[in-house]
Structures are given as structure tokens and as C-alpha cells.
Chains A and B, each alone.
Chain A
């Protein structure tokens, strides 16, 4: 039972490079989201999706793009990485569209460093 799978677990980028963080879930969850966690800042929502083809911005969307072409996958793209994007990134999903009433299942996280 895989749950929410994030890859890679660790990544080092140079400023200006682009990359995609992968997130996949095998629970047929409608809702998927990306959070970043910085020391002293808590978890902050970047983008979320309530179903295939539907995405929306969270608290800190700038510098990140997302798309949701399938129910299972919700990749997060950094088009031009900046040191301020150094963080731990968590993908999370839940069963239903109205995620505020449902348990969030988190992936194990991606530690990203931008030099």
C-alpha cells in the first residue's frame, strides 16, 4: 500500500535551474496539494487541486507551477530555482474534494537546497 509517493527525497539545484518534484498517490484521492515547510514558519500551502484539470493557488504560489492531468499525479515545477526556495516540500492528498473536512495523507517529503 504505497499511499503518497514523492520523488526525489533530496535534491540540490543551482540558482536558475529548473526541476519538477513528483507526487503520486494510489488511493484515488480527488484532492492533492503541495506544502513547503521552513524552520520557524510552519507548513505553507503552495498550490492545490480538487480534481484532474483543476488547480488553484495557496498561500505562497509564486515561483511554482502545477498541473493535474490525471487523478494520481500532481507534479510541482520550479521554473527558475532561487535560494529562497530552499525548503522541505510535502505533497498531501485526501479522499474528497472538500478537503477541509478530511484527513490529509502526506508524502515523506523532498528536501530541496538551492545554491
Chain B
């Protein structure tokens, strides 16, 4: 299994739709999980952290399933402005150091009028 794996998409959805992305990770020792958003040819920006109990930020909900080693992102009532690539980010545990963040290849979302 790849360290961080995402369905590349594209997910093409109409405005107002609900869409969900999943991301799997291979290292059960990973402790930090995030979703970043990247617009075309722009830098990534943090969308939200993912907490063990799940968390919500407006139309966005993130869930963590440690047993199955996946995280998910749910977007409700999709807007045209949600069109972007969504990056799943997990920390890599490195013995003897703090480790660092590993990015998935991203899932592309296109919201149509």
C-alpha cells in the first residue's frame, strides 16, 4: 500500500451536490492528518485538520478511521468555488526525529453550474 493514497478523480458534480473523498494511509503510527486545498497553479492552503472524533467546519466535515487507516472529507452543498484539488496529508514517523508531512497526489473536484 502507498503511504498516502487518494483517488485522483476528477469528480464532476453539479452545484449543490454532496461529494466525499477518501484517503488511505499505510503507517498506523501516523498521528497528524490534514486536508489541504490547491487551486490550479497555486500554492496549497490548509482546509482543515482531521481530529480523532471527527470535525466540521461549515460545509466541510472530516472523519478519521484509525482501524481502517483512512480519512475522509465530505463537502455539502457544493459551490463553484469549491473546484480545486484536495490533498490528503499525513505525518511520516521517522525514528530519531520529529518526522514530516507526506502529501497525497490529490483528488480533483470540478463543480459545474
Contact = CB atoms under 8 A, between A and B. Distances in A.
Interface string A64-77: 00000000000000
9 contacts: A35-B103, A42-B106, A43-B44, A44-B103, A56-B97, A103-B49, A104-B44, A106-B43, A107-B43
A16 interface: no
Contacts of A42: 87, 103-106
A52 interface: no
Interface of B: 31-32, 36, 41-46, 49, 87, 91, 97-106
Interface string A33-63: 1010000111111001010000010110000
A101 interface: yes
Q: Specify which of B45, B87, B98 lies most central, judged by the most chain A CB atoms within 10 Å of its CB.
A: B98
